[in-house]
């Protein structure tokens, strides 16, 4: 695999994978569903915030 655009951490992970150090997850579908639910709960937007500011500050943002 061509890995010239990978940083050192990514290269280490790829080398580890290619050496067979990774094992498949048991109950893959269940694990994927569990982590998908974690992501949905983490990324859910359930609050609204209103901020008043000057036009100049808004432009700076």
pLDDT of residue 45: 82
pTM (predicted TM-score): 0.44
Find out whether 61 and 55 touch, Cβ atoms under 8 Å: no
For tokens 């901020």, name the residue.
51
pLDDT of residue 23: 92
Given a cut of 60, whether residue 9 has pLDDT beyond it is: yes
**pLDDT tens digits along 23-54:** 999 999 999 999 999 999 888 788 899 999 99
pLDDT of residue 44: 79
The conformational region for residue 41 under phi > 0 = left, psi -120 to 50 = alpha, else beta, is alpha
Higher pLDDT residue, 2 or 6? 6
Tokens describing residue 34:
């569990």
Find out whether 19 and 12 touch, Cβ atoms under 8 Å: no
| Dist. CA 31–CA 25, nearest whole Å | 8
- Could you report how far apart the first and last alpha carbons of the chain are, in Å? 42
């Amino acid at each position: 695999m061509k890995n010239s655009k990978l940083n050192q951490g990514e290269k280490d992970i790829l080398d580890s994978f290619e050496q067979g150090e990774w094992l498949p997850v048991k109950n893959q579908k269940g694990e994927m569903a569990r982590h998908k639910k974690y992501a949905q709960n983490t990324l859910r937007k359930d609050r609204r915030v209103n901020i008043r500011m000057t036009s100049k500050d808004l432009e700076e943002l």
